[in-house]
């Protein structure tokens, strides 16, 4: 008897991954294909939509073939995608722009102007903080700077919508991706008229919003043949990578907090109603018709550690492999006492999102003395990232969330020291699930739920095993309790100075080169 298999496709910023899962969470096949990020000037971060489409087809076709070779049956395909992308097409569906990614910073001025206008009211309705990552501010940039394209655009869509148009010749957008545009009314599950008016576009220029469990059939026959799939294979539209990662680590209840650090980082929890922060510190994105995810992303996670590796320890980096150098740096940091002898690092090397949503923030060491060496600096980098993650936890708690567990994932979870710093800074046990490619697993499970293969999303916890747990070390807690408020005060009080030094850097031709890798 053939096994029913679900293929999950995750359209990321630097690559697309496709994984095949059965109902027990076992991986049957896996493929990944990368593509470049184009940055003609430092503030612009773009991609070629057709290169991504070809990557989707290649990974999906190869995984489908491997499933068939193992006598499996592809029962459905589900999708995950990075948030905040934007591209324009004409009335024939032809591309007018590249894909403008979340990392693009061209709309800084539009974001600042919107904050001074009706931006906060739009945030309270849409749940998307006002920031250059938002498609709303990108639309304002096109209106102000590229009027020819702005007026010619028949549709403004995300990369996932472009992919589905190629597959089915229909424009649909899931509630989750829509809720990350700054244009979607959370309570009404429809486009927000006030935000559309601000952006200068109409509802007809956007795709039809559908549930994340929405099933599509009628795959283009030519495409179906190239994908080794039957034309009637059900495709579930799915959601964004961030909210699906919560499912993938088993953080599917309010108070179960997913903590992810890859290149960047994020803190997220599921709630049963749309929830926004009067101070505008956190996002709220749709997961299903009756569940939303609130939290906040930080820009600087593993990339801060990578900067320390490349700039502070270039001598070591050139002598050993990439993986081994991180182990060596961690060993050096372990020899330094918690708190790095009073050296604090503000990890804002690429601006910052939550909780400040200020693209002008800059990195800095604070408290540096002649007694500090490179090993102190690397420990302070690891601690600074955790202090910043904790600042998002504070925002969640003040928004009414009562965390009862923290489930950690991402590249940082491979570091025992970094996991321990998180436990000490958060003053809580950190659970590390033994799951692989969390967004893909989340997309697969959502697809199974949509197709009736599993009863509910929470059932995923039955197939996710705990890899390791870390509890806080009592003697470390007083140090971090003393340093955390200093870090938070310093970050808040430096916001005006960050703006001043950013203005200086822009005038003198120093552009902030934002991340060129996928962030969750």
Among the candidates 195, 221, 242, a domain finishes at 242
**303: pLDDT strictly greater than 50:** yes
Q: What tens digit of pLDDT does each residue of 231-245 get? A: 999 999 999 999 999
Mean pLDDT across 397-418: 92
Q: Which residues contact 383 (CB under 8 A, 6 or more apart)?
A: 338, 339, 340, 344, 345, 421, 425, 483
> pLDDT band at 512, cuts 50/70/90?
low
Is the same domain home to 63 and 206? yes
**Dist. CA 262–CA 306, nearest whole Å:** 11
Measured N-to-C along each axis, helices 322-334 and 416-426 cross at an angle, to the nearest 10 degrees, of 50
Residue that has been written with the tokens 């991402």 in this structure: 410
The partner residues of 210 in beta bridges, in order of sequence, read 174
Q: What tens digit of pLDDT does each residue of 63-111 get? A: 999 999 999 999 999 999 999 999 999 999 999 999 999 999 999 999 9
Q: What tens digit of pLDDT does each residue of 439-457 get? A: 999 999 999 999 999 999 9
Is the same domain home to 14 and 124? yes
Q: In the chain, what percentage of residues exceed pLDDT 70?
A: 98
In a domain, 23, yes or no: yes
**514: pLDDT strictly greater than 50:** no
Q: What tens digit of pLDDT does each residue of 419-429 get? A: 999 999 999 99
Range of the domain at 210: 3-242
Among the candidates 213, 242, 271, a domain finishes at 242
Tally of structural domains, the chain:
2
In a domain, 408, yes or no: no
Is the same domain home to 210 and 343? no
Among the candidates 191, 217, 242, a domain finishes at 242
Residue 24 and residue 463 in contact, taking contact as beta carbons nearer than 8 Å: yes
Mean pLDDT across 359-384: 97
With 0.85 as the threshold, say if the pTM is over it.
Answer: yes
Residue 11 and residue 81 in contact, taking contact as beta carbons nearer than 8 Å: yes
Is the same domain home to 211 and 331? no
Mean pLDDT across 155-172: 98
> pLDDT band at 321, cuts 50/70/90?
confident
pLDDT at 42: 87
Checking DSSP bridges between strand 215-216 and strand 72-81, what pairing results, if any? unpaired
In a domain, 519, yes or no: no
Q: What is the CATH number of the domain that holds 373?
A: 3.30.420.40
The partner residues of 46 in beta bridges, in order of sequence, read 38, 100
Mean pLDDT across 170-181: 98
SS (H, E, C) 185-253: ECCCCEECHHHHHHHCCCHHHCCEEECCCCEECCCCHHHHHHHCCCCCCCEEEEEEHHHHHHHHHCCCC
Is the same domain home to 29 and 139? yes
pLDDT at 506: 86
Is the same domain home to 231 and 344? no
**Dist. CA 19–CA 34, nearest whole Å:** 15
In a domain, 295, yes or no: no
pLDDT at 516: 39
The pLDDT mean for the chain works out to 94
Query: If DSSP codes are grouped into helix, strand and coil, which group holds residue 15?
Result: strand
> pLDDT band at 519, cuts 50/70/90?
very low
Q: What tens digit of pLDDT does each residue of 278-290 get? A: 999 999 999 999 9
In a domain, 424, yes or no: no
In a domain, 333, yes or no: yes
> pLDDT band at 511, cuts 50/70/90?
low
Is the same domain home to 191 and 340? no
Is the same domain home to 480 and 384? yes
**263: pLDDT strictly greater than 90:** no
pLDDT at 83: 96
**Dist. CA 264–CA 298, nearest whole Å:** 6
Cβ–Cβ contacts within 10 Å for residue 310, how many?
12
In a domain, 259, yes or no: no
**Dist. CA 249–CA 24, nearest whole Å:** 15
pLDDT at 300: 94
């Amino acid at each position: 008897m053939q096994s029913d298999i679900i293929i999950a496709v995750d359209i990321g910023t630097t690559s697309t991954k496709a994984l095949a899962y059965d109902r027990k969470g076992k991986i049957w096949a896996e493929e990944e294909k990368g593509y470049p990020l184009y940055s003609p000037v430092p503030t612009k971060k773009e991609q070629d939509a057709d290169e991504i489409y070809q990557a989707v087809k290649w990974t999906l076709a190869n995984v489908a073939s491997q499933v068939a070779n193992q006598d499996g049956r592809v029962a459905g395909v589900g999708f995950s995608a990075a948030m905040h992308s934007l591209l324009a097409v004409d009335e024939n569906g032809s591309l007018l722009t590249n894909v403008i990614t979340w990392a693009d910073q061209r709309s800084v001025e539009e974001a600042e102007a919107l904050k001074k206008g009706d931006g906060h009211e739009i945030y309270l309705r849409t749940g998307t903080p006002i920031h250059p990552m938002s498609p709303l501010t990108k639309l304002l940039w096109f209106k102000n700077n590229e009027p020819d394209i702005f007026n010619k655009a028949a549709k403004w869509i995300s990369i996932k919508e472009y992919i589905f148009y190629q597959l089915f010749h229909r424009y649909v957008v899931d509630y989750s991706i829509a809720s990350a545009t700054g244009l979607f009314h959370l309570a009404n599950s429809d486009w927000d008229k006030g935000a559309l008016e601000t952006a200068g576009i109409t509802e007809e220029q956007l795709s039809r919003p559908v549930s994340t469990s929405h099933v599509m059939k009628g795959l283009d026959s030519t495409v179906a043949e190239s994908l080794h799939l039957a034309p009637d294979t059900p495709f579930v539209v799915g959601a964004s990578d961030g909210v699906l990662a919560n499912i993938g680590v088993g953080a599917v209840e309010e108070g179960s907090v997913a903590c992810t650090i890859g290149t960047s980082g994020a803190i997220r929890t599921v709630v049963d109603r749309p929830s926004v922060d009067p101070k505008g510190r956190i996002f709220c994105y749709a997961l299903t018709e009756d569940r939303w995810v609130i939290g906040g992303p930080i820009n600087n996670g593993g990339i801060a550690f990578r900067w320390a590796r490349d700039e502070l320890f270039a001598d070591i980096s050139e002598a050993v492999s990439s993986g081994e150098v991180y182990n060596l740096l961690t060993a050096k940091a372990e020899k330094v006492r918690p708190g790095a002898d009073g050296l604090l690092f503000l990890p804002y090397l690429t601006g910052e999102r939550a909780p400040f949503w200020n693209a002008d923030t800059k990195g800095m060491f604070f408290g540096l003395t002649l007694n500090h060496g490179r090993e102190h600096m690397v420990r302070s980098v690891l601690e600074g990232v955790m202090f910043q993650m904790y600042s998002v936890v504070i925002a969640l708690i003040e928004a009414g969330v009562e965390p009862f567990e923290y489930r950690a994932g991402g590249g940082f979870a491979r570091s025992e020291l970094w996991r321990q710093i998180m436990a000490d800074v958060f003053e809580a046990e950190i659970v590390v699930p033994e799951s692989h490619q969390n967004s893909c697993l989340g997309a697969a499970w959502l697809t199974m739920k949509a197709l009736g293969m599993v009863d509910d999303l929470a059932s995923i916890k039955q197939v996710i095993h705990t890899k390791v747990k870390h509890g806080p070390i009592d003697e470390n807690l007083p140090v971090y309790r003393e340093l955390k408020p200093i870090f938070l005060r310093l970050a808040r009080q430096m916001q005006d100075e960050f703006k001043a030094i950013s203005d200086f850097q822009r005038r003198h031709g120093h552009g902030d080169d934002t991340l060129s890798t996928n962030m969750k």
